[in-house]
Structure 1
Amino acid sequence: MATQASQIGVPIERERAFFFAMAIAIVLTTVSGFVLQFVMGRSSIASPWWVHLHGMTSVGWLALYAMQNYLVFHGSLATHRRLGWVASWYLGWMVAVGLSTTTVAAAAHRIPFFFEPNVFLVMDYLTVLVFAGLTLAGVALRARTDWHRRLMLCAAILVMTPGVGRLLPLPLMGTWILWSIWLVMAVYVGIAMTFDVMTRGRIHPAYFWGFGAITLDTALMRPLAFSPPVLALTRALMG
């Protein structure tokens, strides 16, 4: 099936190689954040089991994302589609684990000291939900390859949030923590947009929707965090 990329003259192989490279960069960035914390002695294998479950679940998703791009890069589209159904079911597990881990972390008083607890809750909840929304949109538009791969890329960039946070000096950033993480994600989206301009002559509209969702997500975090329902939830969870 011809893609929009081939219709407007962008070599399919070049675009596939770019998205595979972006997938590798996302995986390396995320893993680097956790490795850095472990090397500096700020992470421990003695953490509760649910912390490790959350970490393995996220790594599993990133591995799936990288594998999917690898399969497309090598032209194994049938396998890519079959694995896509596995990833669609895995998405539900990602959401369940992400939301429950954040809730348990608050109840166990395991929120990092430099986060306001209510902000941490909203940040994690919204990140999981927006990630799921972008992924579902990408799945729904899987027949439109140009939209599919760009929305999935935006969702994968959002998954970098925990790893990026561990690479930045968050304790020094105060109330700018959320926007500092957003800025790193903006760099990755900017690279993707630049690739579009160089190969297509314009930015694909999928990025405006995808990055628009990420930006709106970030902008809403602090206002929602200080809303009465979230403050009440924070008090209920943390006693």
Structure 2
Amino acid sequence: MATSPITQGAPKTTEGAERRFHLYLAIAMSATIVAGFSVHLAMGRSTFAVPPIFHVHALVFFGWVALYLAQTALIAGNNARLHRTLGLIAFAWIPLMVVVGIALSLTVSQRTGGPFFFDKNQFLFSNTAHLLAFAGLAFASLKVRRHGGWHRRLMLVAFAILTGPGLGRLFPLPLLIPHAWHFMLGVVLVWPAIGMIRDRMVMGRIHPAWLWGIGAVLAAQLVADLIAYSHWGLALTEQYTAGTPGGERPMEAFIPPGFAL
């Protein structure tokens, strides 16, 4: 998450205000992730008694949350040198997140078939698509790190993708079957939408990075849906989960017998 070289001294008022805005939004996004998982843990819907990949996933992904928060705080405080140095971690951390994230999705698909309020095939392919979208946007952000406006906006959209699991635990998604996944996608995109509104209010225009970022997320979902609901996608999902607990649940989202919110 390295960024552009910063001129000596305090940043311009508008630049400083923008950096603080991204810091506040980073804090809000991180808080929703923590809140979502904490609420489920407190309600007994989550447990630490899970296979090791779950713990590795938590360590890696919450590590990114900490890194993103640190980076936004550093640049908001005009500490560009440490920001650039710490940002080098991202080049190795992003691929690690993709590998661990896909490994967890595959494990969950066989273990439970995914959350019951998502179609089994949709969960399998959409998770992978969004992980790749995250990685693509994050690396694109790093590539244009000398252009602060693009860098911070693309990175924010990438981070917004990761808020989905936390946010999903704060909404009654079983009541939104069969549209739970796409509903959550809309909620995730509220974060960049807030940035777009601020751009319009402060600059009088919307920075194109938002449109590219949101477009990438929507494109990833479109591709995921086309694959997931194709004959090939349905067959692959059935084949991959066959003979496992995940293969015993319906392909479509469903309400388990006796379930209550």
Interval of TM-score (by shorter of Structure 1 and Structure 2): over 0.9
How much does 1:157 deviate?
0.5
Q: Using the alignment, how far apart are the partners of 1:234 and 1:137 within structure 2?
A: 31
Which amino acid letter does the alignment assign opposite residue 89 of structure 2? V
Give 1:104's aligned residue: 107
CA distance in 2, matches of 1:16, 1:123: 32
Q: Does the CA contact (< 8 Å) of 2:157 and 2:192 recur in 1?
A: yes
Q: Does the aligned pair in 1 maintain the 2:117–2:178 contact within 8 Å?
A: no
Give runs of aligned pairs for residues 72-221 of structure 1, distance below 5 A: 72-109=75-112, 111-221=114-224
Per residue, is there more helix in 1 or in 2? 1
Deviation at residue 138 of structure 1 after TM alignment: 0.4
Q: Does 1:57 align with 2:82?
A: no
Greater shift after overlay, 68-77 or 165-174?
165-174
Structure 1 residue 56: Cα displacement: 1.9
Structure 1 window deviating more from structure 2 (13-22 vs 182-191): it is: 182-191
CA contact (8 A) 1:99 1:125 kept: yes
Cα deviation, residue 106, structure 1: 1.5
CA RMSD across the alignment: 1.9
State the number of aligned residues: 236
Larger Rg: 2
Trace 1:35-74 onto structure 2 (pairs within 5 A): 35-74=38-77
Residue 218 of structure 1 deviates from its aligned partner by: 2.9
CA distance in 2, matches of 1:170, 1:72: 36
Q: TM-score, length-normalised on structure 2? A: 0.85
1:175, distance to aligned residue in structure 2 (A): 2.0
Runs of 4+ in 1 over 4 A off after TM superposition: none
Using a 3 Å threshold, how does the CA distance of structure 1 residues 10 and 186 change in structure 2: closer, same or farther? farther
Residue of structure 1 in register with 2:19 after alignment: 16
Identity %: 37
**1:53, 1:232 → 2: CA distance?**
30
CA–CA distance in structure 1, aligned partners of residues 76 and 56 of structure 2: 30
Per-residue CA distance 1:70-129 (angstroms, 9 max, x = gap)? 110111111111111111111111011011111122223352222221111012101100
1:2 shift after superposition = 6.1
- Structure 1 residue 238 displacement after superposition: 0.7
- Quote the Cα distance in structure 2 between the aligned partners of 1:232 and 1:82: 46
Structure 1: 5+ residue stretches without partners: none
Letter of the 1:76 partner, please give it.
N
Question: Which has the larger displacement, 213-222 or 76-85?
Answer: 213-222
Query: Which residue of 21, 31, 34 corresponds with 2:34?
Result: 31
Q: 2:23 corresponds to which letter in structure 1? A: F
